[in-house]
Structure 1
Amino acid sequence: MGGEPLIRRATPDDAGVLSPLAAQTFTETFGHLYPADDLQAFLAESYAIERQRVILQHPDYAVWLLEQDGEAIGHAAAGPCGLPHPDVAPGDGELKRLYVLQARQNGGWGGRLFATAQDWLLRDGPRTLWIGVWSQNLGAQRFYARHGFVHVGDYEFPVGRVRDHEFILRREAC
């Protein structure tokens, strides 16, 4: 852990790096909430290499990798808002993922990943931004509140048989 971490935009060639990183960070953060078979099925579908490659090739989405000494230790993803809220409008953006490996947290890099994704989402000017966050993830909720996001709705996020209670957060264009 010697060199300074770097953030770079991921390319389709990074699908093989992003897939296991996304599965690991999701499992570290939320794995305890689910039966093992539900978790494994979710990871196999949601973070499959080919699915990551499709996202990385899509012109409306962007993913960034946080790397240190050649190892991917975090990632963020952004794109058009897909959250189930009646006020979502065409052109609204969403921070879809923001994760740093647990062993590498508390160094300010989550905030830097967030800033990178936000800058990309706002590259064409102000627009409404959205985030979905687990209702019990109080640290993330405080982080997003500091950046002007407010709780405007709720939805269920399915992982197998489990339905997580998620908050929908929004920050109006300014």
Structure 2
Amino acid sequence: MTMNIKKCTLEDSRELQQISVETFNETFKEQNSPEQINAYLERAFDLKQLEKELANCSSQFFFAYFNHEVAGYLKVNTDNAQSEAMGDESLEVERIYVKKKFQKHGLGNHLLNKAMEVAMEYKKKKIWLGVWEENENAIAFYQKKGFAQTGAHSFYMGDEEQVDLIMTKTLI
């Protein structure tokens, strides 16, 4: 069993789109209407949108490989790419997604460690993320990793407003 992480480039945009749609559907399809899911997928994972994000020097994407297959991915943001104004000392983990069949193999842990590594590289003092208030598994995972709820913000699934808890961890 081998696990490794690779930074994504513009050439990875189609594969990034595929895994984004697949993992988002696996994670949220059961609790949301098809109309709202599809509206979100079309906006967030449109190829041109992903290419724009890949080209932004304040955002980075990483693929996680499990036995040479793309099993998940990470997106981190700094500076003005953050989805909330958290300042220059913060790094946002915007997305950590792992395909269902690869969950429980430590990939989420590896991706979160990669995010912390990037934060340290950029000399950030805090790492933060938004997690859907109903995603209890993710909330428990982040709490176990030392994150604490520091706020909340709106997240739009299509045109339906939902609440994401903002969870923050101070880095030493």
TM-score (normalizing by structure 1): 0.89
Q: Percent identity?
A: 22
Q: What residue number does 1:21 align with?
A: 19
Please point out which of 103, 121, 132 is paired with 1:105: 103
Q: Does 1:39 align with 2:37?
A: yes
Q: Which runs of 5+ in 2 are unaligned?
A: none
Cα RMSD (Å) = 1.8
Q: Deviations over 1:123-171 (max 9, x none)?
A: 0324121110011212211221222211011122111232222101112
Match of 2:93 in 1: 95
Q: Are positions 1:77 and 2:113 aligned together? A: no
* Structure 1 residue identity aligned to 2:65: E
Deviations along 1:11-70, one digit per CA (max 9) or x if unpaired, are 110000000110110110011222212211210110112211111121111111012455
Q: Is the 8 A contact 1:13 1:53 kept in 2?
A: no
Work out which of the residue numbers 164, 169, 172 in structure 1 matches 2:170: 172
Which residue of the partner structure matches residue 136 of structure 2?
138
What letter is aligned with 2:52?
A: V
Task: Name the counterpart of 1:60.
Answer: 58
Q: Deviations over 1:102-132 (max 9, x none)?
A: 0110001110011112101220324121110
Unaligned runs of 5+ in 1: none
1:114 aligns with 2:112: yes
- Three-state SS of the structure 2 residue aligned to 1:27 is helix
- TM-score, scaled to structure 2: 0.90
Residue type at the aligned position of 2:166? I
Moved more, 76-85 or 96-105: 76-85
Give the aligned length. 170
- Tell me the SS of whatever aligns to 1:7: strand
- After the TM superposition, which of the residue ranges 10-19 and 109-118 deviates more from structure 2? 109-118
Instruction: Verify the 8 A CA contact 1:15 1:53 in the aligned structure 2.
Output: yes
8 Å contact kept, 1:129–1:171: yes
| Distance in 2 (alpha carbons) for counterparts of 1:73 and 1:149 | 24
- Matched AA of 1:129: I
CA contact (8 A) 2:7 2:60 kept: yes
CA distance in 2, matches of 1:70, 1:150: 34
Aligned ranges for residues 2-21 of structure 1 at < 5 Å? Answer: 4-21=2-19
Instruction: Give the 3 Å change call, closer, same or farther, for CA 11–136 of structure 1 in structure 2.
Output: same
